[in-house]
Chains A and B, each alone.
Chain A
């Protein structure tokens, strides 16, 4: 029988709380970017995801993601946490109660679908959003999570490295963002007037909360209070810093001034990129991962996006999918058994096979998540319709979807 380690358990519970805070953090990160008539809709979408998927997770989400099974997804034997108790489950974490692992993972299942909403911000009906998110969490998140992290998952057996969710979180959500942005269409009157973010201080506040929470996300993924947690913590902070600096520098080169919005976006790009490798890499690769993440995200959102003309309102694809993909591939380059003996060596340490495995995982996830997101979107669109009508979009989602407004004009 495995014994529960108090230090490990304390760290994982704190980490779960840190990751929980990321969803409201994301709400402010996104909320500051929209027009002031839509901020409550963003906060509400993030908040309701926290409520809805917390329930989904304990009822069946955890079971279909993590219950051992060789098939498409996990088994149903852990329905309503049946058999998921306070005894450790050594396949996942030998020194903490099984429920501690479960609740830590719950926070990942919550924030991942919330990431997508940046793509269709300011134009989706709230009712359709709820159904879309529930289906997405069930048919995209759960299977991919099982493949990569679940006992019996085929990518796990293949040996893919995804420390804290580059594939499971950022690639699935990021490519879903592209799919939904393409199919929902642009916001109205965009050519004439690209709206300015209505509250950049909120964006910075959100970034700070994300950065803070990300320590739980990445260092908590060690599932123990040990050396790997520490090196993941260091890698996380390092890559975030490198990402912020790198974007600021590109702002300077391209537009002559560094910007707050750019620097905050760069930090988030660095954080997303270091996620899959955090527990497998040393500090110099972490710097490289952060620097390059911002560089390619900058190109994606400021050069490629305007050319292709899709309206990923808040760059959920441009930041999360691009940097997540880079991070997963970079893990295949930089991973080192000296950092984490449970991991593998990457291409730069003479193991090209690992890079190939990472490449396969990225490819399969991109295709699967894109296709299933499209199908889910179409189902919701054909039954209850996804997009608000033109007048509602013009008036803003706060008033039309929630009958509230964030800011009064008088008093």
Chain B
């Protein structure tokens, strides 16, 4: 079992969701986060005072999957989120120790799907 965490551009969320559904990955958690990587961030001006390097809005996806779904999920995220420009984001794949479905108490692969 793996936990896939991806940071993407907010406006790419819909496309990524669509590609994930096509790859039959339907369980997803989405949150709004701030951050920047190589992109420097944006300049904002408040009553003449310039603030540079402000963090940008990003979307974080968390998807727990069984091994066979790892590659399709990664491909789907790239397909949906890639523009080729700086700021497209990153995908992290982590080992997932346990997964428990709260409703039934099921564990492991069964609980993920």
Question: Which residues in A have some Cβ–Cβ distance to B below 8 Å?
Answer: 37, 188-189, 192-193, 391, 394-395, 399, 403-405, 409-410
Q: What's the least CB distance linking A215 to chain B, in Å?
A: 35
Question: In the complex the two chains form, what is the Cα distance from A91 to B44 in whole Å?
Answer: 51
Contact A403 B9 (CB under 8 A): no
Contact B44 A404 (CB under 8 A): yes
Q: Within 8 Å CB of A403, what residues of B? A: 42-45
Q: What's the least CB distance linking B48 to chain A, in Å?
A: 11
Contact B34 A409 (CB under 8 A): yes
Q: Within 8 Å CB of B45, what residues of A? A: 403-404
Chain A interface, >50% SS class: loop
Within 8 A of A (CB), among B1-53: 9, 11, 14-15, 18, 32-34, 42-46
Q: What's the least CB distance linking A310 to chain B, in Å?
A: 21
Question: Which residues in B have some Cβ–Cβ distance to A below 8 Å?
Answer: 9, 11, 14-15, 18, 32-34, 42-46, 57, 85
Residue from B32, B42, B46, B85 in contact with A409 in the complex, judged by beta carbons closer than 8 Å = B32
Question: In the complex the two chains form, what is the Cα distance from A410 to B58 in whole Å?
Answer: 13
Residue from B9, B15, B32, B44 in contact with A405 in the complex, judged by beta carbons closer than 8 Å = B44
Residue from B9, B33, B42, B43 in contact with A394 in the complex, judged by beta carbons closer than 8 Å = B9
Contact A410 B34 (CB under 8 A): yes
25 contacting pairs across A/B (C-beta < 8 A) = A37-B57, A188-B11, A189-B11, A189-B14, A189-B15, A192-B14, A192-B15, A192-B18, A193-B14, A391-B85, A394-B9, A399-B42, A399-B44, A403-B42, A403-B44, A403-B45, A404-B44, A404-B45, A404-B46, A405-B44, A409-B32, A409-B33, A409-B34, A409-B57, A410-B34
Q: Within 8 Å CB of A37, what residues of B? A: 57
Q: What's the least CB distance linking A151 to chain B, in Å?
A: 46
Q: Within 8 Å CB of B34, what residues of A? A: 409-410
Question: In the complex the two chains form, what is the Cα distance from A192 to B80 in whole Å?
Answer: 13
When C-beta atoms are compared, the residue in chain B nearest to A394 turns out to be B11
Q: Beyond A188-B11, A394-B11, A399-B42: 20 further Cβ-contacts under 8 Å? A: A189-B11, A189-B14, A189-B15, A192-B15, A193-B14, A391-B85, A394-B9, A395-B11, A399-B44, A403-B42, A403-B43, A403-B44, A403-B45, A404-B44, A404-B45, A405-B44, A409-B32, A409-B33, A409-B34, A410-B34
Question: In the complex the two chains form, what is the Cα distance from A391 to B15 in whole Å?
Answer: 15
Q: Within 8 Å CB of B11, what residues of A? A: 188-189, 394-395
Q: What's the least CB distance linking A119 to chain B, in Å?
A: 22
Q: What's the least CB distance linking B47 to chain A, in Å?
A: 10
Question: In the complex the two chains form, what is the Cα distance from A182 to B43 in whole Å?
Answer: 33
Q: Within 8 Å CB of B85, what residues of A? A: 391
Q: Within 8 Å CB of A395, what residues of B? A: 11
